[in-house]
Structure 1
Amino acid sequence: MNFEGGNPVAGVTLDVKSTNNGSNIAVRGPAVFIPEKGQLDIDYINKTIKDTYTFQAWVKPGSAFTDQDKYMTVFVLKNGSEMLQKVIKTKLWSGNNNYLEVDVDGSIFKLHNFMPAGFINMRGEETIIPVSNFNTEYTHISVVAKQGETPILFINGIEIAKDEENIKSFNDVYLGANPKYNGPTYSVEVPSKQVNLLNERNEAIEWYKISLGLIDTKAFFLDELRVWNSALDQTTIYNDYKRYIKGDHENLISYFRFDEGVGMNAYDLSHQGFKYNGNIASLENVDKFDKEHNVSWVTNQQDLPSVSKLGILGLTDSNGNYIITGIPYEGNGQSFEITPRLGVHEFSPKQQLVVLGEQNQIANQINFTDVSSFTFKGKVLFDTRGVFPSYVDVKSSDTNRPNFQDLIEGDEYIKGPGIIDEGYNYYLKGDIKYSKGDYWLNDAGTPGDNDDDYLERYARIGLEGANIYVDNNIVLDKNNVPVVSDSEGNFEIQVPIGNHFITVKKLNYEFEYEGRFPANSDEFTEFFQDREEQVTFIDKTRVDVVGRVVGGSIEAEKEIGFGSDGTYKVPYTDSDNVEHEVNISSVNNIGVANIIFEYAPLGAPATDYTKFNFSTNSETGEYRVKVLPLNYIVNQLNGVKIKNNNSNISILDANETINVPATSAVVTPTYELPDETKITGKDYHYNFDFIFRSTPVLRVVNQETESTIEIDKDGTRISTEGFEYPVYEQFKHYQILLERFEPYYNYDKNSKGDEFKVPVTDGEFVIKNNLALPDSESTEISESDDKIIIYKFRGGNPSITPPFTNTLSIKYRINGSEYEAQNYHKEAVLLGGKSDGSQTFVTSAPDTPDIILRDPPGSHSFATIEKGETISFTVDTDFTYGGILNEEVTVKAGVKFEVGGGLAGPVIESEATNNAVVGIGATNSSTEGTSLTKTYTFNQSISTSGEIDRVGADADLYIGQSKNYFYGTYNNIRAKNRNNGEGYELTNKSGESAFIGKERAVYFSEEPSNTFFVYTQRHILEVLIPELQEMVKGIDNGTIDPKEPGVLSKEQYEDQIKLWRSTIRENERVKYMVKNDRESYRKSMVASIDKYRSKINNALDDSKHPATEEILKKRFTQANQLSE
């Protein structure tokens, strides 16, 4: 059962009538008549009653009541011994006390003057009838009784309760239908006495027997008796009291239709599945010989409930569905008419014919359409105030001084006085209505004076997609699709006849009066004809949008939602109890921006009346606005404009779409302070930032190069200031300080602009440095200024062709574009060596001790190098020419020049060796390829002997490491003070020249082995040297062949002997001087310290870079050790 629009119709009754030879005959069975002094007994019911029951029956007095008549005993509940009885009886009182009394075991209900009719009128309203009708027609009584609670009485399906509002409604309906009636009205009295189903000892018992009528009862007619051992609810009672039921309900313990019509028994139809309760109602009088007072069958139509009161009926549920069960048919089959009825509702078709029989026991899809609905038209409009301007606002430069010029009175504005705001979402002036949403009242700033009020017209913006509800039931169209408002907010539905309320709803949207018409929740609108005038519903939904207009990624990435009202700073105290203050909000570095959200209705462009203008905060560049849940456009040309735009900033590259549908999801801005305290801001729904990115600047603040260079072997140096190219040296450490930022200017307070340098954090360096040693480059951010980047590298391979320059390219890539750095040298001369392609040679070096541990004098004395100690020393390159090499030849130590341009050796990577047996480890490293630093680490203690026979010089320990030497030639690029014909001249500011040229040079690189030696001086003199001498003799006399593997040459053995003797001699000489010539020794030490100090001064004068600092620290350490 549906309305034409597809919505279900609930509460429709469907009557069933049989057809016989063209005439309609109601499907009815007999009833019973209980005479005075008679009673209908149901003994020992199958399922007993304990603490709850519901009694239901149709009853009618055998004759009209007089005040002298006895009560009509309609229900008696007995225990097994019949000593206890619970009686329900009724009586109609007339005259001055015109009321119907129902006595539920002492709990008395009184219905004065009227009682519920069980019939709805044309408007779908429940009606009442005079209580005198109780004398002449069947009335349905339902009583619900629960132990310890007040009984509930239902008359004709309506609960009898002292509900003043409900009683007033009944009286209003009656008086509306009978306007001339001025007599007493309907009222009720209800009991407070509670039901008692306990015995005299207040114990729970079971009730086995039921009787209807007693010896002193007034005679009455009875039909459709139902007894339940549960409490039925109001809905079930109302839906089922007029119709026959199937009888298979769970708590139905007795169900008598009294359709037998013969015999002295009626039979119970209640059952569960195929198991019937099997109770029997006896019509025979208790006195078997008193036939006169037996209960009898009645079949006359006037003695039976009318078809409108009781029959085989269907009743539609909330979904419009219905089922009719238990329709009896005769013979092989019979035809029936199904007719719907609900007040004055009309249905199509008016009735349908079905045939039921042995071959067709079920009939489906007997559908009807309720055609008694009426048209209702509505529109859902946004309240656009505070977002879009009115027609008056657009014409007025000052909103506090409205300008009505060029506006059409009566259309674009409505002038007062006489404007009334009392209707449902409309204003009234005279007899003309002005819908809210289209118009809004402006009190001209004088709320106490109505004479200057006026209505402002706004752009009409409808809500699309709102669902429509009738009595909280969603409205569906003929295809069972929900009806929704269109793009202009309009909708049209069919509403059933009667009193209803209309509601518009959309998820997450907020409406005036909660979208209900009428506004009050206890009011309804009567529908009895079409409503052609649209009813306006107002959508007042807003969504919170936040954002910012700033320059650069730093400000853009700050937590949004704190700075819409200005700078937001929060104090905190660190772990050292020092107070700080952190600025959570962003900084407005480009000036106040004006933003326009444009709304373009479907099929139309945006107008001045659909543009939302607002500005960002002057301090933070942030904004927070409430907007309508629409789709907006931010125009590329004027959607975001900086008010003081001296820099000609253009924020957008194209139109931007801002979609902000209504949502319940919110974002809570959160910021965590350094002390881990969390700060939260005000919730918002959406965030839209407009970030300007200026052209990034990568500027070299300082490019470290050599300030002086050596141009002669005697150490002469000249300044490089004024050179055509800066100069770098191989293997030295250098750094370049770069400032990367985006410049922004805020002209709000300064016509020249306040400059903000915003660090760039979202790009990458693209550096191609042909001056750098491979794998030596690194970048880091300055701890004091995150705009400063420190780029570090070591000098690498030089160019060997004039002008001997290598290139340097520094760029910054951001968003796919590369920007060249400013203020740096792109070419430089690199001094140093490069392979000449010649072969590298290797030879084994003689053993030379690096450390001598001297044994102190005295027996049992000894000296120890403790476990964990380290000893470091640096060996400078020292080459004795001896007239063999040209004085211009350069000698390098600690590096190997490999064919193909590669570099190896300790200058590139520290070389470590270790001997776990001896307990000694050694590391070789070279900073610049001109010296070699060796560090010994002792993993176990080493001591001189404490024996009596090994004292003094004999017990001195000589500690060293076996090694090989790699050597070869390479091309060396260096500066000279004169031109050798191929030099490239560089002239400094003072006119001094240096000639950069190529020369042939020699390198030596030590490669240590993991073989360490620890010899006493006695062992060297008494064992090692004699063994070497024997090797020389063996070669001389031919017993040893120097060509055999592992055998050295005679010269090498002789050199080793000389080296050991000279080492021992020097050791003894130093000890002698310490003991016998302290002054000379002191002077030599002072000279050594002066030499180190000189090197420190040279390092300070050289340049300020990590390599120099490293040298400086090393020299200081060594000087201090010497002075001690």
Structure 2
Amino acid sequence: MATFIGSASSQSDNLGRTITTPVNGVNKTITIKSVGIQVGMPYMGVKDAPFTNNPTQYYRNDLGFPWGIRYRYNTFSEDAFTVSKGYFSDRIELNWDIKMNRDKIVSISVYRSEDIDSQNPVWGKALKTLPADAGTFSDNNIEGGKLYRYKVAAKGVEVDGLEILYSTYITGIGYRNPTGVVTGNVTFTGGNPVKDVLVTANPTGAQLKFGSSLYVPAGGYVSVPRLHKALKDSITLQAWVKAERNVASWSTDIPLFTLQSDANETISLRIFTSEQPSGKFVQLSVGTAYFALFGYYPSGEIDNSGEDILVPIENMNTSFVHCSAVIRDNKAVDFYINGRLLNAAYGAKMTAIQAKKGLPAIRLDINNATVRVNTTAGGQPQTWTHLKMGGAENTFLDEFRIWETALTPAQIRRDYRRYLNGNEAFLHTYISANETIGDYAYDLAHTGFNYHGNNAKLSNSAFTSANTPKFDNTANNIPTNAQLGVLGVTDEFGNYVISAIPYKGNGDSFTIVPSLGKHEFNPKQQLAFLGVGSTVVNKIDFVDKSSFVFNGHAVYDSRGVFPFTADAAITGNIKENEAYNAYIKDNLKYQKGEYWAEKDAAGNILRLRRYAQIPVPGAFVSIDNVQAIDANNNPVQTDIDGRFRIQVPIGQHSITLTKDGHTFAYDGRYPAKTSSTVNGITTVTNTYQDFYEDRDEPVTFIDNTKVIVVGRVVGGTAQADKTIGFGYDGKKTYNYKDANGVEACRVEEV
């Protein structure tokens, strides 16, 4: 017997059969050209040599079949094998399930290598030999932030010495991410919270510098083949970007993100810069929605007065810029540059900033086109299932974030410049790209202990070596510490959290330093140790000493209740509207409440009369509409003399007095609001006082409240029993002579 084959096959070509069938909800026409069918399985044959009694097998000769391949079900599989990638601060954890061949396994051995690139690394001795039914291993003796390759090998599946991927072993890469958290509070001396303070964490004796970015060539991209959870409804996309070429040389726009749906549609967040006759500009776009900002863009920094610092577009040649897009179904897209929402209001704000420097107005073009998220162009439902990043221009990209919600302007401004912990609410994908080496940028986003695993793959079989993305940790090719760092930002209550502070080995000491313009803090810095057993440090608090004394005095308008005093009247060139609640004469200030003007019929001031000051006790004091708090955490109120003293932060602020049932001049606000009327429409504008030094001279607040008081002063029970009020005995007429001796009468109710 030469061969025996227990199989049959059939092949039909040139069929040309056309059918119509639904594909993803849309009818498609398909042409079937050929059909092949094979039934059965080949058996090994033998060749009976006529001159020998020892028949031998010649598989390839007899059957033309590659019998050198060993057929056995896989013991391991990629979908049942995980190596933690920064999920834990103190260990790398391996987990696996045995798919088949469980009865053959004698033991499981775990190996480790620092060689993550070679196809055949030197594994050395096993770290641990485990029982055959083991399914997990934790490696605690490794350096933080460093990639390691692991091999899990099953002994007994094959003969000793024979290694077959998935049959006898499986490999994977992981690392531990040792990080800590610092929390605290920043207040002024009086106890009021300080907002928007940057609090940074630096290793003792050095400035923290770590991580890498992704260099994505024009002919390549970074891909996430399948998202752990499809996106819909609202999406926020964020990334840092710096192009390799000058902005004036870009040939096309750069797709920072390209989302692809299960209906094969795409949404791309793109950035583009170029130069027109009107000047250089930067543009972000999603579909047909876009903004284009000409000449300058916000740097993300603020000056000592709290205003944004604007820099020329050319700065993008050498500096990273942060881009955000908030995409909601069938709504306009919100675009952000360095945490600032680019809309008409911000364009006006930029123009006002430039005007103070004598520079022309800012041009900001906006197209508020809506974007479909949940439906296709044909109206079919869709969700977004995979992702690509980069391409079209040689670009450095860093810190990719995808949120399954529409972030608010306050959230974006607070978090865009700091590293995240990964467990923030609605965080879908967080690729920090700080691995520095390897073929993946790993996703650190997690919900509880479940990591999302939206890892980005750098290599692609379609890419040449020159077009394959790679990590780059050159200092100029990652965002600076001032742009993106290990820091926290205080909220409106003065609280801050610094997440994901990386430490080495068993721990490091860090200096925690607050900063905000020219503000000074006490203490200037504090020391905190983060490490094994001490990953969270609380109550690292600071006091902002950059506040200034403000004195105020609340008094009633006593005119019509009390007469003016016998003091000589003040006359001369008196001006009324040059100071808050005060008159000015010869550079001398006369506070209202103590002085009031007498005017002629035309409204001109004739003289100032002096009145007794009647204080307003118990009025509440607010700074920027936030109740002022004293050192004992009590609300600040005017005292029995109507006076108060508070600490006001450096910068522009307003002071307001309020008291139930009382009305104050200018709504009790210092400085007063301004108003203008155009075409019958009155516009009221808030104004602010720039505080940069102590104000020892009190500012007067006028309480306009008056009440009618009814009562009597009597003696004896007969008078006390009478009803309180006027008109008890009816009208009374009194005859008298005036100062000129003229007789007159007066009628009153008694």
**TM-score, normalized by the shorter chain, greater than 0.5:** yes
- Per the alignment, residue 344 of structure 1 pairs with 518
SS at structure 2 position matched to 1:386: coil
Distance in 1 between residues matched to 2:722 and 2:469, nearest whole Å: 94
* C-alpha spacing 1:408/1:16, structure 2 compared with 1 (3 Å): same
1:531 to 679, 695, 702: 695
Q: Which has the higher helix share?
A: 1
State whether residues 124 and 342 of structure 1, in contact with CA within 8 Å, keep that contact through their aligned partners in structure 2: no
SS at structure 2 position matched to 1:66: helix
Distance in 2 between residues matched to 1:557 and 1:220, nearest whole Å: 93
Q: CA deviation at 1:68?
A: 5.4
* Counterpart AA for 1:88: L
Does structure 1 residue 487 correspond to structure 2 residue 640?
A: yes
* Counterpart AA for 2:275: S
Does structure 1 residue 45 correspond to structure 2 residue 242?
A: no
2:439 to 264, 267, 275: 264
Q: CA deviation at 1:416?
A: 3.9
Does structure 1 residue 100 correspond to structure 2 residue 282?
A: yes
SS at structure 1 position matched to 2:315: helix
Distance in 1 between residues matched to 2:274 and 2:697, nearest whole Å: 51
- Per the alignment, residue 187 of structure 2 pairs with 2
Does structure 1 residue 371 correspond to structure 2 residue 545?
A: yes
State whether residues 270 and 286 of structure 2, in contact with CA within 8 Å, keep that contact through their aligned partners in structure 1: yes
- Per the alignment, residue 414 of structure 1 pairs with 570
* Counterpart AA for 1:535: V
Distance in 1 between residues matched to 2:722 and 2:384, nearest whole Å: 80
* C-alpha spacing 1:367/1:591, structure 2 compared with 1 (3 Å): farther
2:478 to 304, 315, 324: 304
Residues 151-175 of structure 1, C-alpha deviation per residue, up to 9 Å, x if partnerless?
0001111100011xx4343344345
SS at structure 1 position matched to 2:412: helix
Does structure 1 residue 123 correspond to structure 2 residue 300?
A: no
* Counterpart AA for 1:195: V
* C-alpha spacing 1:305/1:421, structure 2 compared with 1 (3 Å): closer
Q: CA deviation at 1:555?
A: 11
- Per the alignment, residue 510 of structure 1 pairs with 663
- Per the alignment, residue 1116 of structure 1 pairs with none
State whether residues 567 and 610 of structure 2, in contact with CA within 8 Å, keep that contact through their aligned partners in structure 1: no
- Per the alignment, residue 58 of structure 1 pairs with 240
Q: CA deviation at 1:311?
A: 0.9
Does structure 1 residue 385 correspond to structure 2 residue 559?
A: yes
2:201 to 16, 22, 38: 16
SS at structure 2 position matched to 1:101: strand
Does structure 1 residue 78 correspond to structure 2 residue 260?
A: yes
State whether residues 67 and 94 of structure 1, in contact with CA within 8 Å, keep that contact through their aligned partners in structure 2: no
- Per the alignment, residue 285 of structure 1 pairs with 460
Whichever of the two has the greater Rg, that structure is: 1
Give 1:340-489 correspondences, 5 Å limit.
340-391=514-565, 407-409=566-568, 413-443=569-599, 446-448=600-602, 450=604, 453-489=606-642
1:294 to 468, 486, 501: 468
* C-alpha spacing 1:513/1:336, structure 2 compared with 1 (3 Å): same
Distance in 2 between residues matched to 1:557 and 1:190, nearest whole Å: 76
State whether residues 50 and 229 of structure 1, in contact with CA within 8 Å, keep that contact through their aligned partners in structure 2: yes
SS at structure 1 position matched to 2:584: strand
State whether residues 34 and 40 of structure 1, in contact with CA within 8 Å, keep that contact through their aligned partners in structure 2: yes
* C-alpha spacing 1:617/1:268, structure 2 compared with 1 (3 Å): farther
State whether residues 250 and 393 of structure 2, in contact with CA within 8 Å, keep that contact through their aligned partners in structure 1: no
Residues 348-385 of structure 1, C-alpha deviation per residue, up to 9 Å, x if partnerless?
22111111111322222211111111222221111111
Residues 629-663 of structure 1, C-alpha deviation per residue, up to 9 Å, x if partnerless?
xxxxxxxxxxxxxxxxxxxxxxxxxxxxxxxxxxx
SS at structure 1 position matched to 2:382: coil
* C-alpha spacing 1:106/1:475, structure 2 compared with 1 (3 Å): same
State whether residues 242 and 397 of structure 2, in contact with CA within 8 Å, keep that contact through their aligned partners in structure 1: yes
Query: Percent of aligned pairs with the same residue?
Result: 36
Instruction: Please report the RMSD computed on the Cα atoms of aligned residues, expressed in angstroms.
Output: 2.5
State whether residues 16 and 312 of structure 1, in contact with CA within 8 Å, keep that contact through their aligned partners in structure 2: yes
* Counterpart AA for 1:292: A
Distance in 1 between residues matched to 2:610 and 2:731, nearest whole Å: 39
* C-alpha spacing 1:553/1:167, structure 2 compared with 1 (3 Å): farther
Residues 1041-1065 of structure 1, C-alpha deviation per residue, up to 9 Å, x if partnerless?
xxxxxxxxxxxxxxxxxxxxxxxxx
Give 1:137-176 correspondences, 5 Å limit.
137-163=319-345, 166-176=346-356
State whether residues 40 and 283 of structure 1, in contact with CA within 8 Å, keep that contact through their aligned partners in structure 2: yes
* C-alpha spacing 1:263/1:68, structure 2 compared with 1 (3 Å): closer
* C-alpha spacing 1:539/1:264, structure 2 compared with 1 (3 Å): same
List gaps (5 residues or longer) in structure 2: 1-185, 674-684, 735-745
Distance in 1 between residues matched to 2:329 and 2:747, nearest whole Å: 71
- Per the alignment, residue 210 of structure 1 pairs with 387
Distance in 2 between residues matched to 1:475 and 1:52, nearest whole Å: 38
SS at structure 2 position matched to 1:48: coil
Distance in 2 between residues matched to 1:473 and 1:345, nearest whole Å: 20
SS at structure 2 position matched to 1:170: helix
Regions of 4+ moved over 6 Å: 548-555, 589-592
Give 1:555-566 correspondences, 5 Å limit.
none
State whether residues 731 and 748 of structure 2, in contact with CA within 8 Å, keep that contact through their aligned partners in structure 1: no
Distance in 1 between residues matched to 2:394 and 2:722, nearest whole Å: 92
Distance in 1 between residues matched to 2:314 and 2:747, nearest whole Å: 79
State whether residues 296 and 313 of structure 2, in contact with CA within 8 Å, keep that contact through their aligned partners in structure 1: yes
State whether residues 380 and 489 of structure 1, in contact with CA within 8 Å, keep that contact through their aligned partners in structure 2: yes
Q: CA deviation at 1:110?
A: 0.6
Give 1:810-959 correspondences, 5 Å limit.
none
- Per the alignment, residue 91 of structure 1 pairs with 272
Distance in 1 between residues matched to 2:555 and 2:719, nearest whole Å: 42
Give 1:371-770 correspondences, 5 Å limit.
371-391=545-565, 407-409=566-568, 413-443=569-599, 446-448=600-602, 450=604, 453-520=606-673, 521-547=685-711, 586-588=728-730, 618-619=748-749, 621=750
State whether residues 469 and 475 of structure 1, in contact with CA within 8 Å, keep that contact through their aligned partners in structure 2: yes
* Counterpart AA for 2:456: A
2:419 to 244, 261, 272: 244
Distance in 1 between residues matched to 2:234 and 2:446, nearest whole Å: 19
Distance in 1 between residues matched to 2:733 and 2:641, nearest whole Å: 39
2:213 to 16, 21, 31: 31
Structure 1 length as normaliser, TM-score? 0.46
SS at structure 1 position matched to 2:411: helix
Residues 58-110 of structure 1, C-alpha deviation per residue, up to 9 Å, x if partnerless?
111122123551211111110135x3111111111125231111121121211
Distance in 2 between residues matched to 1:434 and 1:150, nearest whole Å: 54
Q: CA deviation at 1:25?
A: 3.1
Residues 313-353 of structure 1, C-alpha deviation per residue, up to 9 Å, x if partnerless?
11112221212122121111111111111122111221111
Q: CA deviation at 1:187?
A: 2.5
SS at structure 2 position matched to 1:73: strand
Residues 810-829 of structure 1, C-alpha deviation per residue, up to 9 Å, x if partnerless?
xxxxxxxxxxxxxxxxxxxx
State whether residues 60 and 138 of structure 1, in contact with CA within 8 Å, keep that contact through their aligned partners in structure 2: yes
Distance in 1 between residues matched to 2:409 and 2:532, nearest whole Å: 37
State whether residues 247 and 316 of structure 2, in contact with CA within 8 Å, keep that contact through their aligned partners in structure 1: no
State whether residues 417 and 450 of structure 1, in contact with CA within 8 Å, keep that contact through their aligned partners in structure 2: no
SS at structure 1 position matched to 2:438: coil
Q: CA deviation at 1:557?
A: 7.2
Distance in 1 between residues matched to 2:355 and 2:524, nearest whole Å: 31
Q: CA deviation at 1:542?
A: 2.1
State whether residues 501 and 518 of structure 1, in contact with CA within 8 Å, keep that contact through their aligned partners in structure 2: yes
Q: CA deviation at 1:271?
A: 1.3
* Counterpart AA for 2:299: A
Structure 2 length as normaliser, TM-score? 0.68
1:200 to 361, 367, 377: 377
State whether residues 420 and 427 of structure 1, in contact with CA within 8 Å, keep that contact through their aligned partners in structure 2: yes
